[in-house]
Amino acid sequence: MHAPLAGKVALVSGGARGIGRATALKLAAAGADVAINYYNSHEDAEALAGEVRAMGRQAATIQCSVGDPDSVDELFAAFDASFARLDIVVSNAASGVLKPAMEMKLKHWRWCMEINAFALALLAQHAAPRMKDGGRIVAMSSLGAYRAIPNYGFVGASKAALESLVRSLAQELGPRGIRVNTVNAGVVDTDALGYFPNREALLAEYAARTPAGPVLTPADVANAIYLLCLPEAAMINGTTLFVDGGFAISGMSAPAPSGLAGKTAIVTGGSRGIGRAIVERLAADGMDVTFFYVGNEAAANEVVAAARAAGLAVTADRVDIRDPAACVDAVERVIERRGRVDVLVNNAGVIRDNLLVALEPDDVRTVLETNVTGLFNVTRAVAPHMTSRRSGRIVNLSSVSATRGGRGQTNYAASKGAIEAFTRALAVELGPRHIRVNAVAPGVIDTEMSKDVRELAGDDVLKRIVLRRYGRPEEIANAVWFLASDLAAYVTGAVLHVDGGFKME
């Protein structure tokens, strides 16, 4: 008989009944010897140990309160008396007080946290030194970590804490060959469910909203734990495996809408790189987008053609944003066609990099006139229309250069610093009129505009990026989309850094 866990030793906390019992039997059937921890259910634990031994496996029962450090010390002393190794720990024991959060006391909070979350830390601290050849630690969570369940507030909080702890332990213990994961089970019909005052309502809701149909059994959950213990799961670490028949995907609320569909946006510098990604992201969410460009007509036409082929509403308009009158005329054309401007993205910008002593006056003038004066011109043309409607969102593109030193970028850094100051000041001016003004500060992004900088700096730039890679235009577009959307309705005057953790050294 195939026994993939032959020679392994497992410790299952809360192992005498329900999910713990099913897990102990599953692991034993796969060849593992099992230590069964229990707190009150001595007779159930002994009966289970008898079943495990009947399979030809070694079994031991150990009484312990897993939230008590001294008791856990005793647990592992008893464990060492029966077993010479440890390969698998299943942190399944759970407890709690099922009452409204407003009625709970400090002792209830401590009880939930100690048994349901702190216990995992205690078990891991003792288990890791014994897992000399690596191992598996699996923690049991529940739907309450993500969903508001009546009378489950403190228990749910402890389960959320448990899942966070799992991720930290996975990071710490991964280099030692120890994988730490969570199994988050749906509603399982066990004796423990009988303590819920709304047991029948929970079962009915779960059955009605679960695509897979029936209510979970302890064996279903044990199967998931078993999978995480197999050698084939060696590259699964720090994850939460949902075992709920699909309840989570149908039982939770749909994501909040962005509120952008049907609205109108203007994006400056929209024919290439980050600007093009922004145009496409906003249009994909149902916006009518007009983008300004100044020189590359072929690139602008390509953006429009691609967008319209995808059924998106995108229009290009050649505008020199350094010209105030041209900006007013361009905005009026959008107003004539659409009747409103809901979102303005000031993305257009240029670089003229060189050391300060080598910069020509035109290098400084061109950068400031395009990056700063151009932003003023377009915003000043749009703002009256937003103000009259008492609604609008303005997103300005800054740069990591505004706050991080960059050799040869004094003119560019000055322009981006000005944009951030402009953003904060305008947010104060327009906030009372329900117009939000924010900025996105990209790091080094893989675009044509940054090509020379990336090639010149080489690996030196990557070493300053915590994530050790360049950003993508789409990642900046997502940040702009967020700030333009209803999801950022309470965000104004902010600078959102999207730079992979770019740091000053």
Active site residues: 152, 159
In the three-class reduction of DSSP (H, G, I as helix; E, B as strand; rest coil), residue 504 is classed as coil
Q: Which two tokens stand for residue 57?
A: 């496996």
Q: Pairing relation of β-strands 88-91 and 135-142? A: parallel
Burial of 450 (0-12, 13-18, 19+ CB in 10 A): buried
Location of structure tokens 């290009």: 316
Tell me the HSE value of 362 on the side-chain side, using a 13 A CA sphere.
0
Distance CA 485, CA 261 (A): 10
Distance CA 308, CA 270 (A): 15
- Is the Cβ–Cβ distance between 287 and 313 less than 8 Å? yes
Q: Which two tokens stand for residue 359?
A: 């910069």
Amino acid at 245: G
Q: Which two tokens stand for residue 458?
A: 């080489």
Distance CA 19, CA 184 (A): 12
Distance CA 229, CA 210 (A): 26
Helical packing angle, 273-284 and 297-309, nearest 10°: 20
Distance CA 114, CA 67 (A): 5
Distance CA 39, CA 24 (A): 16
Distance CA 124, CA 336 (A): 66
- Is the Cβ–Cβ distance between 322 and 295 less than 8 Å? no
Tell me the HSE value of 239 on the side-chain side, using a 13 A CA sphere.
11
Neighbours of 236 (CB within 10 A): 16
Distance CA 491, CA 426 (A): 13
The closest of 260, 325, 324, 266 to 293, measured between CA atoms, is 266
Concatenating the DSSP letter of every residue in 23-43 gives HHHHHHHTT-EEEEEESS-HH
Distance CA 183, CA 242 (A): 6
- Paired with 178 in beta bridges are 135
Taking the alpha carbons of 95, 180, 168, 77 in that order, is the dihedral positive or negative? positive
Distance CA 261, CA 282 (A): 9
- Is the Cβ–Cβ distance between 79 and 129 less than 8 Å? no
